[in-house]
Amino acid sequence: MMPLRELDVRPLLKNGGAPFNLIMETVASLEPGEGLRLLAIFEPTPLIHQLRQRGYSHVSRKIAEDDWEIIFAPESAASEGGQTGEPTLETDLWPEPIWNLDLTGLAPPKPMERILARLQTMKAGEVLFALLSREPISLLNEVKARGHEWVGNFDSTGTVYRIMVRVNPSGVSA
């Protein structure tokens, strides 16, 4: 059994805090072969993507409303234990975005509304790129629910969130 370190960021999130730096510091301090049991109030999809790029798989479980457990395991430990994370998106194979939206000056929910409206007009497999003033958690959940694929992260300044969304390649709504 893989050793797990527990980090509960629910109180911080409920008080409007941003636990990203704390989470990344905790991950950086993990011993070789040690995993992380993260407790949060939502499934942190952008964090999952970032840690996947750093060699961690994950298993998410909704415990209750606004109560999630996410286990992050180093890939070597995950393959030994039989756990698998989400498949890695091969964005290098995605076509160039046909839409580039700068939505940094808009207050929520306008960026989400504009992106979802644009996605409805696009064909299966087409890609949209957008710049946002904050991490769009609600948008990411909605994009995933509609069967689209996405990748996103903050730029080097940490002030602009960049996202690429590929319209559901199968053309079938989820």
Give me the DSSP letters along 48-97.
HHHHHHTTEEEEEEEEETTEEEEEEEEHHHHHHHT---PPPP-GGGSPPP
* Residue 23: C-alpha distances to residues 17, 44, 100 (Å): 12, 11, 31
Quick count: other Cβ atoms within 10 Å of Cβ 127?
A: 20
What are the pLDDT tens digits along the chain (174 aa)?
678 999 999 999 888 888 888 999 999 999 888 999 999 998 888 888 888 888 888 888 888 888 889 999 887 644 444 333 333 455 667 888 899 999 999 998 999 999 999 999 999 999 999 999 988 888 988 998 899 988 888 777 778 888 999 998 775 554
Domain ranges of the chain: 4-81, 91-166
From the options 3.30.1340.30, 3.40.50.10260, 3.30.110.40, 2.60.120.650, give the CATH code of 4-81. 3.30.110.40
Superfamily of domain covering 91-166: TusA-like domain (3.30.110.40)
23-70 pLDDT tens trace: 999 999 998 889 999 999 988 888 888 888 888 888 888 888 888 899
Same fold, 4-81 and 91-166: yes
Question: Per the structure block, which two tokens stand in for 101?
Answer: 């939206």
pTM comes to: 0.51
* DSSP 8-state class, residue 133: S
